[in-house]
Amino acid sequence: MKRLNIGMIGYGFMGRTHSNAFSQVNHFFDVPYRPVLKTVCARNAERAQAFASRWGYESIESDWRKVVESPDIDLIDIASPNDTHAEIAIAAAKAGKMVMCEKPLGRTAAEAEGMVKAVETAGVRNMVWYNYRRVPAVMLAKKLIEEGRLGRIFHYRAKFLQDWTISTELPQGGEGLWRLDVAVAGSGVTGDLLAHCIDTAMWLNGSITEVSAVTETFIKSRKHNLTGKVEPVGIDDASLFLARFNNGSLATFEATRYARGHKALYTLEINGEHASIAWDLHDLHRLQWFDHKDEGKLRGWRSLHITDREHPYMGHWWVPGLQIGYEHSFIHQAADFLIAAGEGKSASPTFREGLATDQVTDAVLASAKNRTWEKVK
Amino acid sequence: MKRLNIGMIGYGFMGRTHSNAFSQVNHFFDVPYRPVLKTVCARNAERAQAFASRWGYESIESDWRKVVESPDIDLIDIASPNDTHAEIAIAAAKAGKMVMCEKPLGRTAAEAEGMVKAVETAGVRNMVWYNYRRVPAVMLAKKLIEEGRLGRIFHYRAKFLQDWTISTELPQGGEGLWRLDVAVAGSGVTGDLLAHCIDTAMWLNGSITEVSAVTETFIKSRKHNLTGKVEPVGIDDASLFLARFNNGSLATFEATRYARGHKALYTLEINGEHASIAWDLHDLHRLQWFDHKDEGKLRGWRSLHITDREHPYMGHWWVPGLQIGYEHSFIHQAADFLIAAGEGKSASPTFREGLATDQVTDAVLASAKNRTWEKVK
Amino acid sequence: MKRLNIGMIGYGFMGRTHSNAFSQVNHFFDVPYRPVLKTVCARNAERAQAFASRWGYESIESDWRKVVESPDIDLIDIASPNDTHAEIAIAAAKAGKMVMCEKPLGRTAAEAEGMVKAVETAGVRNMVWYNYRRVPAVMLAKKLIEEGRLGRIFHYRAKFLQDWTISTELPQGGEGLWRLDVAVAGSGVTGDLLAHCIDTAMWLNGSITEVSAVTETFIKSRKHNLTGKVEPVGIDDASLFLARFNNGSLATFEATRYARGHKALYTLEINGEHASIAWDLHDLHRLQWFDHKDEGKLRGWRSLHITDREHPYMGHWWVPGLQIGYEHSFIHQAADFLIAAGEGKSASPTFREGLATDQVTDAVLASAKNRTWEKVK
Amino acid sequence: MKRLNIGMIGYGFMGRTHSNAFSQVNHFFDVPYRPVLKTVCARNAERAQAFASRWGYESIESDWRKVVESPDIDLIDIASPNDTHAEIAIAAAKAGKMVMCEKPLGRTAAEAEGMVKAVETAGVRNMVWYNYRRVPAVMLAKKLIEEGRLGRIFHYRAKFLQDWTISTELPQGGEGLWRLDVAVAGSGVTGDLLAHCIDTAMWLNGSITEVSAVTETFIKSRKHNLTGKVEPVGIDDASLFLARFNNGSLATFEATRYARGHKALYTLEINGEHASIAWDLHDLHRLQWFDHKDEGKLRGWRSLHITDREHPYMGHWWVPGLQIGYEHSFIHQAADFLIAAGEGKSASPTFREGLATDQVTDAVLASAKNRTWEKVK
């Protein structure tokens, strides 16, 4: 098996999920590469070292440019805050490295376009970590749709509900809280949570043509950790939109961090002429399935426990009835990337697909600002 | 439509459910009789009058014998405490009346045998109010089993869990609390709750051949409302048993009033070679259905919302999606009785079927006492 | 107890639910009136007679004007199609009758304004049958909100999903299908299903200030039962909108008859600073409740089984654990009306409140047509 | 960090879960040892090599005695079939190694007694892999009970339902199917599934004093993979028992591989005077909690999503709302063992605790055979 040397940029929440994926993928999947945790890069050397020790990275680096330029590195994985994605990805592509990037690809579609151009010009393998596609239940939904079981699609709806920023005491900015700092994050829940919903939606249901959105910032100012001052909050706390898909179906999308009682409730539902599918992240190992072709008196929503060998990815894990969790979606995505890379291809979602999501989030933010329906480019 | 004059004995909880059934049945079902609320009988005239006024009974009576003997009465409905069932039923049968009796039929199988003999000798229509058979979801379960969809049956399990007697402050005996008084009730949860479980079980899965049981009285003495003294509690607070059915399947049964958090959680499940069924009273309008013949990757428990026209009884109610409740099981049972009576037949469960349940509860109590497996007679 | 003579206009689905409410209310509630089913009015005498026989109406009538003018009638209950509401209600008010009207009040706010003016000018008791307010779980939600338990409200969401019109074979118009005929119904799901969602929402969360909507007619033409010809479908099959409430909260609303797998899935959720509530019509006897003040490690959504004596209305029914159903919401509304009438008042929602809902549905339809945010009048 | 050299005996399902635990524990937990996957032992060298390559074992061995005697090995982990547990464990203890053993400890209590004696005589650290104790939801249940929140306990019930052996075509014995071979497994579901239920039950609710059981072998003969002949099936396919606990509570236990529709549905529920707890393995990241001390009208079962930092073990994983799965229970158990070992102690359940479970399963099998209540030794 070929070794694939990883240069990891970032060591936060996503640095952990990606490192875990690289550590675990060969234990469960037969892929043509063995990822080697070569270098982790962070500005704070002490934290980088602690992270390296825990995960077994061979070295640390404080300047990402050195990692990008290192001949020892085959793949740059960008798990650092959103404002760093474009610069690092473009440099990595120019250096001929494979590039993985945490979502959203850019803070704006304009940023993302530069990234797409870079990887396509360089011809390097690339992928955006929209991990929820690789939850087995979601992958099964994709297969059922591809098999044509739903018929004409009428409705799509998705929500991503959290409640962790309701307190006015919570500051913005800096370590662990950069998602609340618009300069770093680009937007609030639109780029953070809705981006996930949009990526899955377009993968399952095709492109979105137009949107009408509303956003709100419920808490208008918060102390900023970097300046120490109370500053206006620039992000959207909640973002809701109506959409039309290219296939004629209608949709509602909603993301918020102010839905008391929901920790990370990403739900999706799709209603077709013949069948419907629903899924939620709080019970990610289940898929809800309704098939109108079932005998009349016995029609009902089936709660599928996605733990059988014939379910996507599940033949690699344990035995029927024993569930996997959140982290496994990253392991699956790593496996799919390594298989694709072995065939000289990128894995889905590519940077180009990541750009498409940014184009929708741009339209959402424009619609909310302009109070108009906006076409998606 | 023929009138059917009802003589109601009792005015408590069951007096209300039965009276409601008679009031409503013609509004929703085409049956050959129109029940007329003729007389309600209770020792306390004031309460009887209040009950009669509320429900529209034409008269009241304090001596049940007079009701039984009245030429104006066609049907005696016994909704009074358990210790009155046998005497009233036997007298009513001898008087040539149709007889309905609240469950359990007798306090013991010996009592019930006398009742069966009386109605069969007199040739009068009869029925025991085991109402849960007429919940549409339960009736659908019956149909699915009769259609042979489950194949060989391996397991049956039923529980009836309540929590209303946990407090030591609760007295026993008298108005509203006679179910805690062994002299009146005959037994505790065995005759009250397990009897329901057993009736449904034998209807769905055939006869029970032997049982091994354990019972417990958690609170050993309570104030008695009639004597005003603290007296030993004679009833079983909890009753659990293992059983073998005649068809070779194994079962667990459990009833208790000490299951904190459950108000009236009657649940049943039956596992067959090809399919399984589950139901619970707290969501009585749903039936859980698992069919192994479904395509492998899409096998799962279906939550059937039993509100379609093609579901049992539901064509008589509203429109799909709109649920009915507890009281409707009595209306359905009244409708079935009236239809059967129109054909000169009794409706199920007859007194003879009610006796079979008493034979099982007798075996359960004997087993708990003797610490042995007991054959059911 | 005073008698209250009912003149029922219409004998369809809603004629049945209202007649049942009048039949049952005195059995379970102590109210100052005994409704008497005096006259049912329908153009088809045979059907009127069958309906009268089933429910016990004393007489039938084919011209609603005669009922309105009859000195024997105290209350006119309008359960006929939407295009008849205004004319009948205005005449009834002028005749000094109490008036109940099935929802929506008018086909448009303009129609409804005339009706409000009539009842207010005449000073007659009035009510619109938005029955879902009287589901015990929904009434409990109202109480919890009024007690201030939720704090500042951030989000409201409501959906009403059905799937009964997906087939292209279904005709429009005439008996049982007038809801698909825009001339009779006024609109499609907007006035039928969304109106329910909007009524409950404004009752629970205050007024709606502006909306952005989209509607769709998925099946463009259907055979018309009255003309026998295939004609364009004028109703909206689906209607979705974003809203801002006066209290600053954001909302999504959606109604459709094309959500495969859902029969009548009316769901609502409200997220406040301290607590959240969710409810759905398919399990109407439950309320979901999340309280952030619960101890941290034990915070979770509670599934409240709304069957206790201390739950709204439930002290009038059975015992804890035994659920009621859809029809009971009408009985509760009848009880509340009779109590209010006894005090010389109208019961909520009054015609004026019903008008407010029509103003929102007008804004929704205008927004969908104009592709703009629309202020609610 | 000290290295701890692991000698793994077995490479099947449990060899995988244990190897994964050792691979992952240092990534998420701060423990005083770094497990090193030193040697894996299996009779089939090719399979051992494949396993070693996948998991990174440094060497393979075909004779377990050599592993036990190797000075390079600190800990023997027994993941081989039940009939090998005693001999290997006793040898390992005598060689002064730490010993971990997959459950059940022995095929009988007599076997287990020898194992307990060996580890206690040798004074070596030991543990039985009853992994379900370390599911965070189950550990939280333990904490809640220890905090006294339930008060007096009335009821315990546990089931472990599977359906994978219903087909008569399934053979017994040999690779992957030794659990159906009584000579190897010792018993059927009693030692396999019930043992899990009993271990958790005694940990949560104290010792069991007596049992009444029934077992059944539904399919009486199956082809044996080792002999190639159809042979009688010696295992129990289903095993059900009633129990009394030392604290006076009553219980039902049931395990079967013939419950169509259930893959690995281990459920437990405990009802106390003040509160109740329920859990099931199919949604292992949730705990159901009912607290009677909650305000009356708001009492209901809470569905706790056990993914918060303050939940047991969960501060080591991701962020609230993101669930873990089955394999994590083994990682937690490994972490607890390594922490205990660092303090010179064994981790729970020790071999002595594993013996206690074998004593109950012995009593269950004796009761089923003798048709008597059996005291647990």
Q: Which of A294-303, B195-204, C170-179 has the lowest mean pLDDT?
A: C170-179
The Cα–Cα gap between B150 and D166 comes to: 13
pLDDT tens, A63-91? 999 999 999 999 999 999 999 999 999 99
Which residue in C250, C254, C242 sits closest to C205, CA to CA? C250
| Interface probe, candidates B263, B267, B288, B308, chain C, greatest C C-beta count within 10 A | B263
d(CA B169, CA C66): 61
Length of chain D: 377
Q: What is the pLDDT of residue C352?
A: 98
Q: Do the chains contact at D214 and B275, CB–CB below 8 Å?
A: no
Task: Identify all chain C residues contacting B162, using CB atoms and an 8 Å cutoff.
Answer: 321
pLDDT in tens, C256-312: 999 999 999 999 999 999 999 999 999 999 999 999 999 999 999 999 999 999 999
Strands B33-41 and B59-61: parallel
Candidates B154, B213, B260; nearest CB to D272: B260
Distance between CA atoms of residues D100 and D337, nearest Å: 9
For D298, the closest of C297, C298, C304 (CB atoms) is C304
A-chain residue closest to B293, CA distance: A294
Using the beta-carbon criterion (under 8 Å), do B261 and D271 form an inter-chain contact? Answer: yes
Total Cβ atoms within 10 A of residue A9: 27
pLDDT digits (tens, 9 = 90+) for C200-248: 999 999 999 999 999 999 999 999 999 999 999 999 999 999 999 999 9
* Chain D neighbors of C303, CB-CB under 8 A: 300-303
Residue of chain A minimizing CA distance to C165: A273
Cβ distance D302 to C301 less than 8 Å, yes or no, reads yes
CB contact under 8 A, B325 and C321: no
The chain A residue lying nearest C373, using CA atoms, is A371
Which of A308, A305, A327 has its CA nearest to residue A318?
A308
Q: Which of A247-256, A326-335, B171-180, D270-279 has the lowest mean pLDDT?
A: B171-180
Rounded CA gap, B206 and B39, in Å? 38
Residue by residue, pLDDT tens for chain B (377 residues) are 899 999 999 999 999 999 999 999 999 999 999 999 999 999 999 999 999 999 999 999 999 999 999 999 999 999 999 999 999 999 999 999 999 999 999 999 999 999 999 999 999 999 999 999 999 999 999 999 999 999 999 999 999 999 999 999 999 998 889 999 999 999 999 999 999 999 999 999 999 999 999 999 999 999 999 999 999 999 999 999 999 999 999 999 999 999 999 999 999 999 999 999 999 999 999 999 999 999 999 999 999 999 999 999 999 999 999 999 999 999 999 999 999 999 999 999 999 999 999 999 999 999 999 999 999 98
SS3 category, A108 = coil
**Cis geometry, peptide bond prior to residue C32 (ω within 30 degrees of 0):** no
How far is Cα of residue D70 from the mean position of the Cα atoms in its chain? 27
What residues in chain B have their Cβ under 8 A from chain C's Cβ atoms? 13, 16-17, 19-20, 23-24, 26-27, 54-55, 162, 164, 262-265, 281-286, 305, 307-308, 317-328
**pLDDT tier at D223 (50, 70, 90 boundaries)?**
very high
Mutate to test the interface with A, among C260, C276, C373 (most CBs of A within 10 A): C260
Dist CA D360 CA D353 (whole Å): 11
Size of the C and D interface in Cβ pairs below 8 Å: 48
pLDDT at C317: 98
Q: What sign results for the dihedral spanned by CA atoms B359, B361, B364, B368?
A: negative
Interface with chain B: mutation pick from C25, C165, C326, highest number of B CBs within 10 Å = C326
Best of C145, C150, C297, C314 to substitute, by most chain D Cβ atoms within 10 angstroms, is C297
Taking an 8 Å cut-off on Cβ atoms, the answer to whether D292 and B258 are in contact is no
- B238/D155 touch (CB, cutoff 8 Å), yes or no: yes
How much is the pLDDT for B176? 84
To the nearest 10°, report the CA torsion of B125, B131, B133, B139: 100
pLDDT band at D292 (very low <50, low <70, confident <90, very high): very high
Taking one residue from A and the other from D, the number of pairs with CB-CB distance under 8 angstroms is 99
Among D292, D289, D293, residue whose Cα is nearest residue D301: D289
> Could you tell me the pLDDT band of residue D348, with boundaries at 50, 70 and 90?
very high
pLDDT at A321 over 90: yes
Shortest distance between the Cα of D289 and any Cα of chain B, in A, equals 9
| Length of chain B measured in residues | 377
Question: Could you report the per-residue pLDDT of A117-129, keeping only the tens digit for each?
Answer: 999 999 999 999 9
Q: Is residue C149 over pLDDT 90? A: yes
Choose from D194, D236, D250, D282 for mutation: most chain B CBs within 10 A: D250
The nearest CA of chain D is from the CA of A17 a distance in Å of 8
Q: pLDDT at position A176, please?
A: 84
Of A23, A320, A326, the CB nearest to D263: A320
Strand partners, B211: B243, B374
Task: Tell which wins on pLDDT, C174 or C182.
Answer: C182
Touching subunits of A (3+ CB pairs, under 8 Å) are B, C, D
Residues of A in contact with B300 (CB under 8 A): 289, 302-305
pTM as predicted = 0.98
Mean pLDDT of chain A: 97
CB contact under 8 A, A323 and D282: yes
CA A320, A326, A330 angle in degrees (round to 5)? 100
Q: Which amino acid is at C220?
A: K
- pLDDT, residue B1, reads 82
CA distance B327 to B348: 18
Looking at residue A56, its amino acid is G
Shortest alpha-carbon distance between residue D277 and chain C (Å) = 12
| Chain C residue at shortest CA distance from A247 | C218
Residues of C in Cβ contact (< 8 Å) with B305: 263, 282
| Residue B263 distance to chain C (closest CA, Å) | 5
SS3 B342: helix
Residue C176 has a pLDDT of 84
> A298: which chain B residues are within 8 Å (Cβ-Cβ)?
289, 291, 302, 304
Q: How far apart are alpha carbons D265 and A268 in whole angstroms?
A: 26
Q: What ipTM does this complex have?
A: 0.97
Q: What φ, ψ does residue C285 adopt, rounded to 5°?
A: -90, 10
pLDDT for A1 equals 82
Q: Across the B/D interface, how many CB contacts are shorter than 8 Å?
A: 115
Q: Does residue C189 contact residue C216 with C-beta atoms inside 8 Å?
A: no
C153 CA to centre of own chain: 24
Q: Do D326 and A323 touch (CB under 8 A)?
A: yes
The larger pLDDT score, comparing residue C175 to residue D165, is at: D165
Q: Are B37 and B56 in contact (CB under 8 A)?
A: yes
- For an interface test with A, the pick among B302, B303, B309 (most A C-beta atoms closer than 10 Å) comes out as B302
**Subunit contact A325:D321, Cβ cutoff 8 A:** no
Q: Are C44 and C12 in contact (CB under 8 A)?
A: no
Mean pLDDT of C142-149: 98
Single-letter amino acid, residue A308: D
D173 with D184: CB under 8 angstroms?
yes
Contact yes or no for C259 and A271 at CB 8 A: yes
Q: Cβ separation of C325 and B26 shorter than 8 Å?
A: no
Q: Which residues of A touch B (CB under 8 A)?
A: 140, 289, 291, 294, 296-305, 308, 310-311
Per-residue pLDDT at C175 = 83
Task: Dump the DSSP string for D17-51.
Answer: HHHHHHHHHHHH---SEEEEEEEEE-S-HHHHHHH
Count of CB atoms situated within 10 Å of the CB of C96: 11
Min CA distance, C39 vs chain A (Å)?
A: 38
- What percent of chain C lies above the pLDDT cut of 90? 99
